[in-house]
Amino acid sequence: MSKVPASRVHLYDTTLRDGMQGQGMSLSATEKVRVVEALDRLGVQMIEAGFPDSNPKDLELFELLASVPLEQATIAAFGMTRRRDREAAEDPGLAALVGCFAPVVTLVGKTWALHLEVVTKVSRDENLAMIADSVRFCAESGKRVVYDPEHFFDGWRDDFGYAMACLDAAVDAGAENVTLCDTNGSSLPHEIEEGAAAVVAALEGRGASVGIHTHNDAECGVANSIAAVRAGATLVQGTINGYGERTGNANLVSILPALQLKLGYDCVPPDRLRLLTGTAHLIDEICNLAPDPSQPYVGRNAFAHKGGMHAAGVEADARTFEHMDPRDVGNEREILISELAGRGSVMSRAARAGIELDEDAVRRSIQQVKEREHRGYSYEAADASFELLLRREAGTYESLFRLESFRVITEKRADGRVETEATIKLWVGDERYTRTAEGNGPVNALDRALRAAITEQHPEIAEVELTNFKVRILDEHHGTASVTRVLLDSSDGAHDWSSIGVSENVIEASWEALVDSLEYAFQPRAEGAASAEPAGAVGDA
Amino acid sequence: MSKVPASRVHLYDTTLRDGMQGQGMSLSATEKVRVVEALDRLGVQMIEAGFPDSNPKDLELFELLASVPLEQATIAAFGMTRRRDREAAEDPGLAALVGCFAPVVTLVGKTWALHLEVVTKVSRDENLAMIADSVRFCAESGKRVVYDPEHFFDGWRDDFGYAMACLDAAVDAGAENVTLCDTNGSSLPHEIEEGAAAVVAALEGRGASVGIHTHNDAECGVANSIAAVRAGATLVQGTINGYGERTGNANLVSILPALQLKLGYDCVPPDRLRLLTGTAHLIDEICNLAPDPSQPYVGRNAFAHKGGMHAAGVEADARTFEHMDPRDVGNEREILISELAGRGSVMSRAARAGIELDEDAVRRSIQQVKEREHRGYSYEAADASFELLLRREAGTYESLFRLESFRVITEKRADGRVETEATIKLWVGDERYTRTAEGNGPVNALDRALRAAITEQHPEIAEVELTNFKVRILDEHHGTASVTRVLLDSSDGAHDWSSIGVSENVIEASWEALVDSLEYAFQPRAEGAASAEPAGAVGDA
């Protein structure tokens, strides 16, 4: 495919406004500032921060943002057209918009007659006046105005003339951009392309650009955005990782590499595109979400190869089984361990960790993986435990301690108080340690007691921080005794790693993952061996 | 948009073959039969079961399937073209394919010169012979043959003439369908549309139909499938819920409603389309995966309304904020509880559960939800706990028991054995009970001890089964004491419900969710009050 000549497409991020409509999404003002800074670094041109009048949290955000130095991004404030019964100059929402520091104001308004009739009960003419007055008021107050016609594509299907009249009202009143919204996510790419092309043609020479804002209800949010750009739109609104109400908004993380790498549009500087994976995962973390391992472009599995033929092909020539170079978006190839993988995968992981395996050790490792995966282990998401398994077979494993026994007690007393205490007896070298610790839960108490015993001889173990703890019950549908799988993410500040424990008992499974985490940190390593993922670069499963 | 005249598109499911390449996917032969039966009920026309020669599990599957009565679906067996150094009649893979009961054989072969040069090292002519010989051998053995040209779209971009020669070889040798594969997932919808249209035109009148097989690497798997159908393809290969290697295969669950409801194609009987949500969730369950609440069409949030304006609009006229009727795909509207929702949502939930709330109770409930969500609760995924909260405020809550205290001890002994025991002291009415129980973990031990005490007076509580147990650590990035959130799914066979517990201590959080689950089951209900979701119809978050 020949690429079209490079032309400029602006990215407009609405993670902090529309993305926050997603289930369970909630960020403090300080966290939102971190998101803005990350988007600015990535090269996103416009960042919608919220509605400066909706609540104290958004007000605080705009106050903070006014003094945050940004490299290149412009902040947009979001609001609605004036109320039907007020002059624009007396509308408190519009006053908040023009009063805040943001250079761009994005106004949403109606375009679809059904909404005027059923939801707002405003006449068609009054709606046109509301659009024109509001845009003009903001523009005359010195703001750059983006106009978001809500439900544009539904309106276009029902009555293109009226939908276009709404856009004309906004453009004539001074909007620099109209961003066509597929608010319900009802449209498919060919419809978006047709509707956007019609608007681009109608607005030619009028001094306003066209943007696109889609949702993922038909699982076409990304394709719909691309279709609009191909039809002439030059601004794309979306959210990081596709956060948003219902099924989410259009995912900027997938739209950006498609536009820039596959279609040759100029969106962000190429060196910034390499921040994509890290940015997507960082914002997941700020939102307290686990990165989706299957996410296009940036997921841990996006360039993973499992089948034997694929893995072999990639070794020979990456183009054979990869649609792009993972490094261009800051991701990396991953060869997964699993029942389906063979010796090639085991050897490649061993080489990366600097472990030498002879023929017999490779065979035994494969056998071990198979047996343990059958029992519920999954090494795909547990690098650290997998490396320990290989070290044991290679004979280079060094044991940190030897457990004699532990006991954990949790009591909820008559007065409602809950107390947890762990006692542990173990040997480090020839020395026996008995330690008791309280904790805010059984794993925490065990962790404290264990480290109290170990760190006397190995103080470096104190650096290890447990960053995430996930529990899953396996086989719950099989009627047999269920098995608990614990995945533990750890970090020493420079690197992250994951370990796994499997047992009928959640305490025992947690213990196993905890021990693997600490033992992994303790193993001696050759300089330069890529034993763990760089911190923050790869999420968990 | 005018709909195109209804024409027939066949669905070809490869969940059991390509879907199993996804991370962590593994099903027994019996489980695969359950998947086949569910797909048959849904109306999927062709079901690819696997490669009957690859391993004992697939062999067993084909033996089982031979005697499974299907309503309408046809089973396909999947394999490769003959090896370069063998006659088709002497190729053991082809022998397995023609020897199995499946009426359809799907053969995958090369189309892209890069693969011939780098991966298989076979000449272009020899590759054409391998395709022709293999297809002819299967067709002459009485099989219907689908030919899957691997990397078709890459080959088409490199050398359309050779890619087409591969298709010609298959069609001339008797293939009834060629399914164009975008194996790397590299293509965007306009490329797929162009490539598929070229093939449809070239094969016109030749007696073979055209199919499409895409992957989701560019987050365009669904849009790419739709683009090919619009270009004339009449068969779509994909997987349920988009399972598959890397970022997954094209998601049949989203393709089907788009083709049938939005574009007017005839895929499955309309009454079967209503099985879509249930089928998608059932297959998630068989695969031991939690249904994705944000999944288009079938996700729990796909038709959820959170913002105040949206919720009000939907009440007035569902078309204003819904792109289709959720019932057409067996889903339902969900009004989420959250910080962002207001009294409308609370009242609608209360009405569904048959709880009468006065003004004061509504206000107190909203306040409670806000305060508790601030502490880490999330009622969006915990219907049962939310109903209990409303009942407490309505004054219709009935307490099942009164706790005095509990103690749980887990010990790992010197010999490696792990033992867990819980002791509980509580009152049911005026009666005090002290019970001790062992369990395979602390929650199990607590559950047993608790039920041993309660069921003497309330034997119906024994019916409640705990079906899933999920743990999440909140605020792990905030440096403060982390909080554990436990979500517990329960079932009494007829209904499923979910409860939540939040605490620093995983035992305490589990206890809270456990108590809510049992208390929920114990509450007296009016006949007909839709107090819980029908079992199996809605997954967890």
ipTM of this model? 0.72
Please tell me the predicted confidence (pLDDT) of residue B227. 98
Average the pLDDT over B430-451 and give the result. Answer: 94
Please tell me the predicted confidence (pLDDT) of residue A307. 53
CA dihedral A248, A249, A250, A252 (to 10 degrees): -100
Residue of chain B nearest A309, judged by CA positions = B119
Tell me if chain B has a CB within 8 Å of the CB of A355: no
CB spacing of A245 vs B414 below 8 angstroms: no
Which residues 6+ apart lie within 8 Å of A255 measured at CB? A11, A222, A225, A226, A236, A238
CA dihedral B70, B74, B78, B80 (to 10 degrees): 160
A246 contact residues in B (CB cutoff 8 A): 294, 299, 301-305
- Cα distance between residue A169 and residue A153, in whole Å: 17
B405 contact residues in A (CB cutoff 8 A): 411-414
CB spacing of B469 vs A473 below 8 angstroms: yes
Whether A251 and A359 map to the same domain: the answer is no
CB spacing of A1 vs B217 below 8 angstroms: no
CB spacing of B296 vs A216 below 8 angstroms: yes
Tell me if chain B has a CB within 8 Å of the CB of A541: yes
Whether A36 and A90 map to the same domain: the answer is yes
Domain final residue, candidates A349, A373, A391: A391
Tell me if chain B has a CB within 8 Å of the CB of A286: yes
| pLDDT per residue as tens digits for the range B323-359 | 899 888 888 776 555 544 567 768 878 888 889 989 8
CB spacing of A405 vs B418 below 8 angstroms: no
The nearest CA of chain A is from the CA of B102 a distance in Å of: 24
Closest-CA residue to B214 (of B271, B254, B174, B164): B254
Angle, to 10 degrees, between the axis of helix A152-172 and the axis of helix A189-202?
Answer: 20
CB spacing of A471 vs B469 below 8 angstroms: yes
Which residues 6+ apart lie within 8 Å of A350 measured at CB? A356, A357, A362, A365, A390, A394
A1 contact residues in B (CB cutoff 8 A): 157, 191
Residue of chain A nearest B508, judged by CA positions = A418
B310 contact residues in A (CB cutoff 8 A): 245
Please tell me the predicted confidence (pLDDT) of residue B387. 92
A512 domain-assigned: no
Please tell me the predicted confidence (pLDDT) of residue A335. 54
| pLDDT per residue as tens digits for the range B133-153 | 999 999 999 999 999 999 999
Please tell me the predicted confidence (pLDDT) of residue A472. 72
Q: Which of residues 476-505 of B touch A (CB under 8 A)?
A: 476-477, 481, 484, 503-505
| pLDDT per residue as tens digits for the range A197-216 | 999 999 999 999 999 999 99
Whether B314 and B228 map to the same domain: the answer is no
CB spacing of A254 vs B218 below 8 angstroms: yes
- Cα distance between residue B106 and residue B148, in whole Å: 7
Whether B201 and B53 map to the same domain: the answer is yes
pTM over 0.80: no
Residue of chain A nearest B244, judged by CA positions = A294
The nearest CA of chain B is from the CA of A526 a distance in Å of: 30
Minimal Cβ distance to A157: which of B1, B226, B420:
B1
Which of A153, A224, A412 to mutate: most B Cβ within 10 Å?
A412
B301 contact residues in A (CB cutoff 8 A): 23, 245-247
B168 domain-assigned: yes
A399 domain-assigned: no
Tell me if chain B has a CB within 8 Å of the CB of A463: no
Which of A506, A508, A510, A515 to mutate: most B Cβ within 10 Å?
A506
Please tell me the predicted confidence (pLDDT) of residue B494. 72
Please tell me the predicted confidence (pLDDT) of residue B536. 31
DSSP H or E segment with residue A38: helix A29-42
Q: At A193, is the secondary structure helix, strand, or coil?
A: helix
According to DSSP, the β-strands at B495-503 and B533-534 are antiparallel
- The DSSP result for A455-517, as a single string, is TTT-GGGGG-EEEEEEEEEE-TTSSS--EEEEEEEEE-SSEEEEEEEEESSHHHHHHHHHHHH
CB spacing of B418 vs A507 below 8 angstroms: yes
B3 domain-assigned: no
Please tell me the predicted confidence (pLDDT) of residue A27. 82
B330, B276 in Cβ contact below 8 A?
A: yes
A96, A80 in Cβ contact below 8 A?
A: no
The nearest CA of chain B is from the CA of A325 a distance in Å of: 11
- Number of domains chain B is built from: 2
- Ranking B35-49, B236-250, B390-404 by mean pLDDT, the lowest is B390-404
| pLDDT per residue as tens digits for the range B383-436 | 899 999 999 999 988 889 999 999 999 999 988 899 999 999 999 999 999 999
Please tell me the predicted confidence (pLDDT) of residue A338. 53
Average the pLDDT over B113-120 and give the result. Answer: 88
B507 domain-assigned: no
Whether A311 and A190 map to the same domain: the answer is no
Q: Which amino acid is at B147?
A: Y
Closest-CA residue to B17 (of B80, B68, B70): B80
Whether A243 and A332 map to the same domain: the answer is no
Return the CATH number at A141: 3.20.20.70
- Ranking A42-51, A483-492, B439-448 by mean pLDDT, the lowest is A483-492
pLDDT band at A118 (very low <50, low <70, confident <90, very high): confident
Could you tell me which residues are beta bridge partners of residue A438? A421
- Cα distance between residue B278 and residue B341, in whole Å: 27
Q: Range of A92's domain?
A: 10-268
Which of A190, A247, A281 to mutate: most B Cβ within 10 Å?
A247
Closest-CA residue to B280 (of B264, B304, B302): B302
CB spacing of B505 vs A418 below 8 angstroms: yes
Which residues 6+ apart lie within 8 Å of A244 measured at CB? A18, A19, A21, A22, A215, A216
Closest-CA residue to B88 (of B162, B203, B169): B169
**Which of the two residues, A305 and B535, has the higher pLDDT score?**
A305
Return the CATH number at B350: 1.10.238
- pLDDT over 70, % of chain A: 90
A244 domain-assigned: yes
Whether A255 and A311 map to the same domain: the answer is no
Tell me if chain B has a CB within 8 Å of the CB of A192: no
**Which of the two residues, B307 and A506, has the higher pLDDT score?**
A506
CB spacing of B410 vs A414 below 8 angstroms: no
Tell me if chain A has a CB within 8 Å of the CB of B371: no
Tell me if chain A has a CB within 8 Å of the CB of B465: no
Domain final residue, candidates A213, A244, A268: A268
Phi, psi of A305 (to 5 degrees): -125, 125
- Cα distance between residue B2 and residue B262, in whole Å: 10
Closest-CA residue to B210 (of B219, B220, B200, B218): B200
pLDDT band at A1 (very low <50, low <70, confident <90, very high): very low
B199, B193 in Cβ contact below 8 A?
A: no
Average the pLDDT over A296-311 and give the result. Answer: 78
B185 contact residues in A (CB cutoff 8 A): 323
Whether A126 and A240 map to the same domain: the answer is yes
Could you tell me which residues are beta bridge partners of residue A74? A46
Q: Which of residues 311-340 of B touch A (CB under 8 A)?
A: 312-313, 316-317, 319-324, 336, 338-340
- The DSSP result for B221-276, as a single string, is HHHHHHHHHHTT--EEEEBGGG--STT-B-BHHHHHHIIIIIS--B-S-HHHHTTH
B76, B12 in Cβ contact below 8 A?
A: yes
Residue A259 DSSP label: I
Angle at B338 between CA B332 and CA B336, to 5 degrees: 5
- Cα distance between residue B268 and residue B387, in whole Å: 38
According to DSSP, the β-strands at A209-213 and B465-474 are unpaired
pLDDT band at B539 (very low <50, low <70, confident <90, very high): very low
A512 contact residues in B (CB cutoff 8 A): none
- Ranking A365-374, B66-75, B114-123, B220-229 by mean pLDDT, the lowest is A365-374
Tell me if chain B has a CB within 8 Å of the CB of A423: no
Angle at B477 between CA B471 and CA B481, to 5 degrees: 70
CB spacing of B186 vs A323 below 8 angstroms: yes
The nearest CA of chain A is from the CA of B218 a distance in Å of: 6
Whether A263 and A157 map to the same domain: the answer is yes
Phi, psi of B75 (to 5 degrees): -90, 135
B218, A259 in Cβ contact below 8 A?
A: no
Instruction: Report the Cα A138 to chain-centroid distance in Å.
Output: 34
CB spacing of B293 vs A338 below 8 angstroms: no
Whether A245 and A360 map to the same domain: the answer is no
B484 contact residues in A (CB cutoff 8 A): 441
Average the pLDDT over B461-478 and give the result. Answer: 72
Half-sphere exposure of B531 (CA within 13 A, CB side): 23
Which residue spans within B306-445 are E strands per DSSP? 334-335, 402-412, 418-428, 431-439
Q: At A249, is the secondary structure helix, strand, or coil?
A: strand
| pLDDT per residue as tens digits for the range A431-467 | 999 999 999 889 999 999 999 999 999 999 998 988 7
Please tell me the predicted confidence (pLDDT) of residue B166. 98
Residue B308 CB burial class (10 angstroms; 0-12, 13-18, ≥19)? middle
Average the pLDDT over B6-24 and give the result. Answer: 91
Terminal Cα-to-Cα distance of chain B (whole angstroms): 35
Please tell me the predicted confidence (pLDDT) of residue A322. 87
pLDDT band at B61 (very low <50, low <70, confident <90, very high): very high
- Cα distance between residue A71 and residue A69, in whole Å: 7
Residue B514 DSSP label: H
Average pLDDT across chain A, whole number: 88
A345, A357 in Cβ contact below 8 A?
A: no
CB spacing of B296 vs A191 below 8 angstroms: no
CB spacing of B302 vs A414 below 8 angstroms: no
Whether B323 and B225 map to the same domain: the answer is no
Residue A477 has pLDDT above 60, yes or no: no
Q: Which pair of tokens denotes residue B22?
A: 């996804």
- The DSSP result for B189-217, as a single string, is HHHHHHHHHHHHHHTTTSS-EEEEEEB-T
Angle at B243 between CA B242 and CA B248, to 5 degrees: 75
Average pLDDT across chain B, whole number: 88
- Cα distance between residue A202 and residue A338, in whole Å: 55
Domain final residue, candidates A391, A421, A444: A391
Which of B34, B222, B247 to mutate: most A Cβ within 10 Å?
B247
Phi, psi of B257 (to 5 degrees): -65, -30
B424 domain-assigned: no
CB spacing of A407 vs B411 below 8 angstroms: yes
pLDDT band at A531 (very low <50, low <70, confident <90, very high): very low
Phi, psi of B459 (to 5 degrees): -60, -20
Whether B262 and B310 map to the same domain: the answer is no
Q: Which pair of tokens denotes residue A148?
A: 């978001």
CB spacing of B301 vs A407 below 8 angstroms: no
Residue A538 has pLDDT above 50, yes or no: no
Closest-CA residue to B461 (of B530, B517, B399): B517
- pLDDT over 90, % of chain B: 63
- pLDDT over 70, % of chain B: 90
Tell me if chain B has a CB within 8 Å of the CB of A56: no
Minimal Cβ distance to B219: which of A217, A296, A443:
A296
Minimal Cβ distance to A505: which of B186, B190, B440:
B440
- The DSSP result for B80-122, as a single string, is EPPPTTS-GGG-HHHHHHHHSS-SEEEEEEE--HHHIIIII--
Residue B102 has pLDDT above 50, yes or no: yes
CB spacing of B306 vs A21 below 8 angstroms: yes
Average the pLDDT over B116-140 and give the result. Answer: 95
- The DSSP result for A270-308, as a single string, is HHHHTTHHHHHHHHHHHTT-PPPTT-TTTSTTTTEE-SH
A184 contact residues in B (CB cutoff 8 A): 321-323
Q: Which pair of tokens denotes residue B322?
A: 């819904």
B364 domain-assigned: yes
pLDDT band at B446 (very low <50, low <70, confident <90, very high): very high
Q: Across the A/B interface, how many CB contacts are shorter than 8 Å?
A: 313
Minimal Cβ distance to A405: which of B114, B323, B414:
B414
Residue of chain A nearest B116, judged by CA positions = A320
- Cα distance between residue A176 and residue A198, in whole Å: 18
Please tell me the predicted confidence (pLDDT) of residue B293. 85
- Cα distance between residue A425 and residue A446, in whole Å: 11
